[in-house]
Every structure is written in C-alpha cells, then in structure tokens.
Structure 1
Amino acid sequence: MADPGMIERQSPTYNKYTTGKEMKETPVSKASSPTEVELGMSYQSESNNVWSKISRWINLIGAEEYGVEQIPEDVRTDQNPRDLFTFFFSANCGTASIALGYLGPTLFYLGWWDSFLCCLFFNLIGAIPAAWLATFGPKMGLRTMILPRFCFGWWPAKVLVLLNCLNQIGWAMVNCIAGATIFYDVGDGKLPMAVAVLIIGLAAVIVGLFGYHLVHVYERWSWIAMLICFCILAGFGAPHFVNVPMGKGPRRNLSTDYGVYMRSDTPPWKCFLYAFLGLFTSQFLIEALGAAIGTLVFSSNPVFTAAYNSGGLGGLIGQCFQGHGAGVTGFGKFVQLILSFSTVAVIITNIYSLGLSIQMMSKKLLIIPRVVWSLIGAVIFLAAAIGGRNNLEAVMSDFLNICAYWLTPFCTILMVEHFVFRRGYTTYDVSAAFDRKRLPLGIAAFSVFVIGTVLALLCMSQTWWVGPIALKVGNAPYGTDISWELSLGAVTLLYIPLRYLERKYTGFKSEFEGDI
C-alpha cells in the first residue's frame, strides 16, 4: 500500500505543506490510484471540481492544505520541539485560565490555599496525558484523533471524534466569552457584549483558518505580551487579595496535532518535557492568579462586590486598577484590552483541530478541505458564544462538567494500549490507520470506555447531578466526586484482559507491525 501521506489533492508535481512558497520548492511524486480511492480522495476532473479550486485558492493565500492524512517525512522541517512549550504556554496563558481559577472561591467557595493546591496538583496530573500525546506527532505524523483507531477500531473511533468536535466547539465558546468579558469592561459597558464576543472570535478565526504554520508563529510570540500584562495585573491586584480560609464541612472537588511537521527522529522525551512544562506552568500560574482575583469577592471593600455584581470577572480585574489616578486607570484599560485578546491563542487551536476532527468522521468529508470545515465550525461556535455571552460561570461549569467524564477513560485506554501492548512507537502500523480492514474491532476498548464513563457518572458530584456512589462516599447533599480516580482504576483493570482476549480470538494480530 502506498503511503497515504503522499496523496496529492490537486497537483501531481508539488508537495503541500503550509504556504504556497514552500509548495513550489518541494517536488514529489503522485500516489497510486488505489490508495486514493481507498481514502476517499479520488477526485473527478480537476478543472471542474469545486473543491479542487478552493484548495488551489487555499494554497494561493498561503494556508495549510494538509488534512488528516499522514504528514510524509519529506515535508517535515527542523521545527524545534521548543515550539511545543510556546504553543501550550500561549494557549493557556489567557483569561480563560484566570476564569477557571477564580471559580474556586466564587463558585465552589474554596479558600485561597484550597484553590492554590487544587491548581497545583491537578495541573501536575492533568498535564501528563496531553504532554505524552504530543510525542506521537513527530513519530507518526498523524493527528491526535487518528490514534484511537489503533485500539478502538474504525467505527467506535468515530464516536470519540464526535465527542471531540463537541469539545472543540464548547471550548471555543467558553474561551471566547472569557475574553469578551474583559473586553466588555474596557468599554465600560458601552460596547455590547455580543459585539465583544464577535470581535474576539473573528480575530481567532482568521489565524486558525490558515493552519499549522501560522498557528505556531502566533503562539511562539503572543505569550510574551500576555505574561507581562498578567504580571502587571498581579502587581496592582495583590494589595487587595483576601486570604480566604480553607472551607469546612461537606467535601467537594473541583496535543499531537501540533507536532506532526517535526522530523520523526525528534526525541520523544524532549517533546514530552516541553509540552508538559508549557501546559503546567501556564495553567498553574494563571489559574492561581485567577483564584487570587476570585478572593476579591470576599473583600471588605464594597467596591469589589459592586464590580463583581456588575461585570463579573472583567469587573474585578478592572477594579484592581482603580484608585491610583486617571493615568493608572487608563493604563489598566490598555492592559485589559491586551488581555481580552489572550484567548485568541487557544481559540485558534479549537478552530484548527475542529476542522481536522470533522474530516475524520467520514472518507467523503475528506474531499472538503480542512479550512472549510474550520470555517463552518467557527460560525457555529460564534453563534453559541453570542447566545451564552451573559452566563460565563454557568457556561464554564456546565461545559466542563460534561466533557470531563469521558476524557479519563479515553486517555487511560490509549496509555494502557501503548505501554502494555505496543511498548513503543514502531509497533504501530501507520499505513493501517486509514484501512478499516486492518484495524481491530474495538470491542475491548469501546466496551471498557462505556463502562468507565458510566462509572464516572455514578461517582460525579455536580450541581445538576450527584451520583449514588459519590453520595455514599461523602456527606449529603453533595457527596464527594471520585469519578476520575475510580474510572482510571477500573479502565486499567478491565482493558488489559479484554484486549488480550480480543487479540487472541478476533485474529487481528496483523494490526501490529511487530508482535508483543
């Protein structure tokens, strides 16, 4: 079988990378017809095909044309794995992370140290799966949501892709609203919130549509300005932060797509380290600052309560710059304006990855370029963000509640598959990723995934649902949310024997390039 990454969409003469200039400089050969048919990429007459014309236009403006197909080695670059640090740091160095941190005191009534420790330990743990997945990009040249096919199989993996599409749209909505709340406060309430959402969203869409190259360029530098502004905010806000004591009573608790153009000989440990540091440092520092800002709600100074009631997070941030004269107030507005656009760095990743995920739903959808799907997703998330613009806390908490409970079983299965069964990158038959006949049935992975997710729901403790197990473990009426701990353990224990049985009795040992 020919390498699916070598498939040409329009030109039999030139390769496609990220810009039209690079396309002109890299000659390649055209893949065989059978492979094109197999991947659903057989194109009728090039001159009359509307999607081919759109793809040529994409190349003309310098946008990335590659979709979910494997990125071949001959178009890989000497991209430094340090880009994974700046990418993840920039994506999380935004007001959305502040908004998440400030939920500790404002929504969950945690004290300062409670919130600080939650930010520290959960980010230490949470950064590991994403950083590990980042190592697959250079080694395999495949997008993140292609990887589940090696254990979930062809059809069950599509369910995960659908969930991921909902995640990307939801996160784009949440991040856009988080930035817009700051923008709204800059305009002293005179700029309609819907317009603030639209401006932030459009700024992100423009960058996200261009693809991999421009995304990395933006992420490489945007974090510098944002980090400076966050330091300034911390300096002005520090005198007002409140050391809210730890709460007492019922207990409550709160990747791969961006390294595919790196050369395959890039050391995995470097990818993991840079990705982990980028994820952890940005999320922990900015969320801790958000928790500190959240303590202002408990300030004895009534102006902070009034600011919170009128403008929420944006109002609290704006109030930090008050009382120091007109010059500081004006400077504070400028800092807020910059910070309001900090969420662009993460929204563009949602838009970019959304386009890739949609292409994975069906071979027929591969005909339509990624940029078109990203544009359609952008319209959907902007409409949703404008509709939910006045309910940031509710939108954030409800969406996070929904998405969190399937991610733990999903990541656990991928990690067990890799470390127990694959034991290395070379045992993945990359060419089989686009051939359902050479993939496992996914009986073990999908059944365990369902069990793990259902168990997580039974152990969850949220405003709109407290599972029976959570209620038994903790005190009524909230119980204790132990969903991810039990889900992780149950999935690990169940998947190993079921996967062995699946390999033994279904005859899909050919899915491995080597045997275990």
Structure 2
Amino acid sequence: MDSLDLEKSDPNQTFEGKVLDNSYDGEGKVPVDAMVEVDVEPQTGIRGWLRKIFTVVELRGIERVMPEDRQPKGVMNNLLMWWSVNCVLTTVPIGTLGPAVFGMGLRDTILSIIGFTILGCFTTAFCATLGPKLGLRQMVISRFSFGWWGAVVLSFLNIITQIGFSIIAVILGGQTLVYVCGSKLPLTVAIIIVSVVTLLICFFGYDLVHKWERYAWILIACIMCVLYGTGHEYFSWTPSTSSGSTLAGSVLSFGGVVFGSVIGWAPIAADYNVMLPEDTSSWKVFWLTFFGLFIPLVFVETLGALYGSALINNAAWNDIYNNPEAGLGSVLGASLSSLGGFGKFLVFLLALSVVSNNVPNTYSAALSIQTLGKPFQRIPRFLWTIFVAVVYTVAGVAGKSNFSDILNNFLSILSYWTTPFVVVLALEHFVFRRRTGYNVDDYGDRTKLPWGLAAGTAGIIGVVGAVIGMNQTWYVGPVGKLTGPYGGDLGFEMALVLTSISYLALRTWELNHVGR
C-alpha cells in the first residue's frame, strides 16, 4: 500500500486538501486510503459545520498508538472510569437476583457478591495492564495468541457481548424514565432517548469517553446512598429459603451471574489504556482497575440485594417489579417517592446513569467490528458506533418485556466464552511470552502471527467444559446436575480448568512444531 511519511505528533495533518485520520501502519506511516476528504479552506454553512465536527471526532480505529503519541499521565482514569461504569442503575438488578430469583438470604447473597466479584476483578484488571504495554486494543491483542482468524471469532463474540450489555442498559434506563414521566412517555421512546445520549458521547471518541466517566460517578454514588436510607425499613435479613446442597447450587448459579458481570469487561479493558505511556507501572494499572471495579460493584449490588429482600416484605413493590413496563427502576422510584419532586429528579438522574455503563459497550463494539478484517477497518469507528446503537436499540425495544430473563441468562452464559479467552491471554503472557515478549509491529500481518490452533482448540475445550457444567433453565449439564436437587452452575469453573490444562499442552506443541 502506498503511504506518506508524516510527523506522527500531529494527528490531523493535511495533504493536498485532505485531513489525515491518524491511522498508522506498522512503520508509523499513514496509508493514503485512510484519508478523509475534507476541504481545508474555511467554510460556512453546512460544510463548515461538518468540518468542525470532524476536527473533534476521533478518527483513530484499531491502529496501534505509537509511544510518542501517548499521554504523559492519566493512569488514575483506570479507577475513576471503571467506578463510573459500574456505579450505575444497571448494576443494581444483579444483586436483586440473589433474593428475588435464587431464594438466597441477604448474608449469603452479599458474601457471594464479594467472593465472585473478587475473582472477576482479577481477570479484567490483568487485561487492562496490556493496553499501555502494547498500545493495542483488546481484541487486536488477542491475535498474538488466537491468531488472525481466532481473533475474528472472538471479535464477533465480543460484539454480541457488548450489544447484550447495551440491551440491558437501555431497557432498564427506559423503564426508569417511564416512571419519571408516567404514561406520557412510551417505553419504546424512553429506550431510544437513552440510546441517543449514549451515542452522542461515543461518537466523539476516546477523550470524551474518559472525560465523561471521570466525573459521572460522583452524583450517582450520592443517590445510591440516599436509596440505602429510603428503603431501609423494608430490607429483610431473613435467611435463605434452602440449605445444604440446594443452597450451594443457588450460590454457584448466582455466583456465575456475578462473575459474568465482571469478566464481561475483560474483552475491552485494554481499549481504555492505550494512550498511557509504555513505562506505566503494570501493578498500578492492575490495582487501580481492580478497585475501580470492586468497590462500586459490591456497593451497588449489595444495594440491589437489599431491595431484592424488600420485595418479600412489600407487596406493592413486588407488583411493580413484576410489571414489564415498570421493573426495578420503578421500585427504586417508589422508594424515593417520599422525597416528593426532588425524589423524582433523583430517579431521572439515576435513569441517565445507564449511559455511563453503556458508553464503553458501544465504543468497544465498534472497535471489535473493525477487528473483523481490513474491509471493516476502512469504515471509520464513529460510523460503526451508529450501527451498534441502532442494533441494540431495536433489540431493546423487542425484548423490553423480558428484562429479568435477559439479565439472568445473558450474564451467566457470558462467562462461558470470556473465561477461556482470559485464561489463554494470561498463559500466553506469563508463560510463553515471558522471555520473547511481543513484536507489536506484527499485529496487522497474519503471516507473522500465531496460527491460533492451540488457543482455538483450548478455547473450544473450555466452552465444552462450560456446557458440561452449566445450569440454565433451558439446559443443565451433567456436572451442573451434581450440586443439589436443582443443580448449580459450574460453567466458568469447568471452563477455567479445562482451558488451562489444554492450552499449556497444545501451545507447547504448537511452538515446537510450527514455531509461532
């Protein structure tokens, strides 16, 4: 491909009346066909307005961020961003499932939330450390273990994952807006409003995403504290309705949901660290990401567990919860109703908090689409964000009456592929790349990347293990049946063990016989 040698420090240079989109190839050059046609002369009217928009829209896609283009600071964003992403309305229903769906008491629910959240935080925090080291997006990094075509499959799965998260967010946010506005606002319109606000932030890219997430958590955390106070008289510390092996099965199944909600961020964690310098401390990135996830998740899911217990003591709230046009958002609204108009204003802000959760889903789904191949990469990221938003908006409108089922099944199944994904990346990084490291210039050359046979086979074995251990309403695996009369979900545990054993053996064979 013909290319132009340019100073990489200026991401928006011009050449012969064209603005370049800071997309670098492996040699630090900008491909000629990566240029965006924009008249560089001052314009007025529509053309001038469009030009102003495109000067602030991030045009960089999955291309590597070169070391000299990194920002000298910003590591604290790991803590604040993940705090904002998870201190949102969308996190509350996860904790509610413990008492409301699995019949668990508050003590067992909260202990499960803490334990399985810790496990999930380790996986996502590890993935986050790879961003500064390599300057590559998470799905592109997977090419160094799964190979080119394996990364294509993973990118497709990640697109589905992020869209699934987005569907949950827009439905819950829409339901809560309906509570605020009443019958004047149809749920379908409310879902569209949430999607549009999300799109506006994602459209402009990396910098605006970080700026939004840096501050969004503050007000929402205060509202969560108010919810702890307004609902306390209905919180019930009753024990679990089961014991022994039956309770163990419920803990495993609920734990799979909690774990899935955390590890679901692992396939995109590095996307938000690529602008950090290469010499950024990996331990600092790890622990800031870890606590940026752990603190808000436990804080908000515990609130959800308390409101899940309150449904037992408050028949009116239980009726609201089971109404598909209302749901948990309206229950929280009923709890804040004692504050009058101010309470409704807090519910409105709570509804819009799902945007913070939905922004990384939309942004990273667009990047995953570009990772599907070079034809997809030629289409700018910001156009793919529009496509993603349209897809999850339509799906959210279609699935608005089945929120609890979508939440429970989606988050449980999510860990069935993300667990093998993280295990392979971790073993590749700590075992097989410990001495050789990564030749980052190879990320776009499929002939220099691993074949991906070992990773792909180990991943499939891990997924088979997950199926054997799963416990869903539509299928219970033979291992999943072993815990109690109703079974327990051991899907991600089985996937972790089988993927680890198989990848260590298969990757050793692959390196000895294939050499890459």
Q: 1:30 to 1:138 in 2, by over 3 A?
A: closer
SS where residue 466 of structure 1 aligns?
coil
Corresponding residue for residue 284 of structure 2: 270
Q: 1:256 to 1:268 in 2, by over 3 A?
A: same
| Aligned counterparts of 2:307 and 2:23: Cα–Cα separation in 1 | 57
Q: 1:342 to 1:156 in 2, by over 3 A?
A: same
Corresponding residue for residue 208 of structure 2: 214
| Aligned counterparts of 1:248 and 1:45: Cα–Cα separation in 2 | 63
| Residue 460, structure 1, aligned to residue 470, structure 2 | yes
Q: How does 1:222-241 map to 2 (within 5 A)?
A: 222-241=216-235
| Aligned counterparts of 2:328 and 2:22: Cα–Cα separation in 1 | 55
Corresponding residue for residue 423 of structure 2: 412
| Aligned counterparts of 1:383 and 1:29: Cα–Cα separation in 2 | 33
- Deviation at residue 464 of structure 1 after TM alignment: 1.2
Corresponding residue for residue 305 of structure 1: 318
Q: Is the 8 A contact 2:26 2:444 kept in 1?
A: no
Q: How does 1:174-323 map to 2 (within 5 A)?
A: 174-249=168-243, 250=246, 251-252=249-250, 253-254=253-254, 255-299=269-313, 301-310=314-323, 311-322=326-337
- Deviation at residue 415 of structure 1 after TM alignment: 0.6
Corresponding residue for residue 330 of structure 1: 341
1:43 to 30, 33, 57: 33
Q: How does 1:58-457 map to 2 (within 5 A)?
A: 60-249=54-243, 250=246, 251-252=249-250, 253-254=253-254, 255-299=269-313, 301-310=314-323, 311-322=326-337, 324=338, 328-423=339-434, 427-457=437-467
| Aligned counterparts of 1:406 and 1:427: Cα–Cα separation in 2 | 25
Q: 1:158 to 1:16 in 2, by over 3 A?
A: farther
Q: What amino acid sits opposite 1:399 in the alignment?
A: F
Q: Is the 8 A contact 2:155 2:368 kept in 1?
A: yes
What TM-score does the superposition give when structure 2 sets the normalisation length?
A: 0.87
| Aligned counterparts of 2:296 and 2:212: Cα–Cα separation in 1 | 16
| Aligned counterparts of 1:34 and 1:315: Cα–Cα separation in 2 | 54
Gaps of 5+ in 2: 15-19, 40-46, 255-268
Q: Is the 8 A contact 1:20 1:60 kept in 2?
A: no
Give the number of aligned pairs. Answer: 482
- Deviation at residue 497 of structure 1 after TM alignment: 1.7
| Aligned counterparts of 2:274 and 2:25: Cα–Cα separation in 1 | 23
Q: 1:31 to 1:285 in 2, by over 3 A?
A: closer
Q: Is the 8 A contact 2:77 2:210 kept in 1?
A: yes
- Deviation at residue 394 of structure 1 after TM alignment: 1.4
Deviations 1:246-275 (A, max 9, x none): 231522221000011111111111111111
| Aligned counterparts of 1:29 and 1:234: Cα–Cα separation in 2 | 47
Q: 1:120 to 1:12 in 2, by over 3 A?
A: same
Q: What amino acid sits opposite 2:459 in the alignment?
A: F
| Aligned counterparts of 2:190 and 2:418: Cα–Cα separation in 1 | 31
Q: 1:144 to 1:348 in 2, by over 3 A?
A: same
| Aligned counterparts of 2:187 and 2:302: Cα–Cα separation in 1 | 26
| Aligned counterparts of 1:297 and 1:290: Cα–Cα separation in 2 | 11
| Aligned counterparts of 1:388 and 1:196: Cα–Cα separation in 2 | 14
Q: 1:61 to 1:45 in 2, by over 3 A?
A: closer
| Aligned counterparts of 2:334 and 2:34: Cα–Cα separation in 1 | 61
Q: What amino acid sits opposite 2:380 in the alignment?
A: P
Corresponding residue for residue 489 of structure 1: 497
| Aligned counterparts of 2:26 and 2:348: Cα–Cα separation in 1 | 52
Corresponding residue for residue 479 of structure 1: 487
CA root-mean-square deviation = 2.9
| Aligned counterparts of 2:335 and 2:500: Cα–Cα separation in 1 | 47
Q: 1:331 to 1:70 in 2, by over 3 A?
A: same
- Deviation at residue 118 of structure 1 after TM alignment: 1.4
Deviations 1:158-189 (A, max 9, x none): 10110001111111111111222221211234
Q: Is the 8 A contact 2:28 2:66 kept in 1?
A: no
Percent pairwise identity: 34
Corresponding residue for residue 506 of structure 1: 514
What TM-score does the superposition give when structure 1 sets the normalisation length?
A: 0.87
| Aligned counterparts of 1:33 and 1:293: Cα–Cα separation in 2 | 52
SS where residue 203 of structure 1 aligns?
helix
69-78 vs 158-167, greater mean Cα deviation: 69-78
Q: 1:15 to 1:304 in 2, by over 3 A?
A: same
SS where residue 117 of structure 2 aligns?
helix
| Aligned counterparts of 1:153 and 1:237: Cα–Cα separation in 2 | 51
- Deviation at residue 244 of structure 1 after TM alignment: 2.7
Gaps of 5+ in 1: 22-26, 509-516
Deviations 1:366-400 (A, max 9, x none): 11111011111111111111111222111212222
| Aligned counterparts of 1:241 and 1:481: Cα–Cα separation in 2 | 27
SS where residue 153 of structure 1 aligns?
helix
490-499 vs 271-280, greater mean Cα deviation: 490-499
| Aligned counterparts of 2:365 and 2:377: Cα–Cα separation in 1 | 13
- Deviation at residue 135 of structure 1 after TM alignment: 1.0
Q: What amino acid sits opposite 1:246 in the alignment?
A: S
- Deviation at residue 302 of structure 1 after TM alignment: 3.1
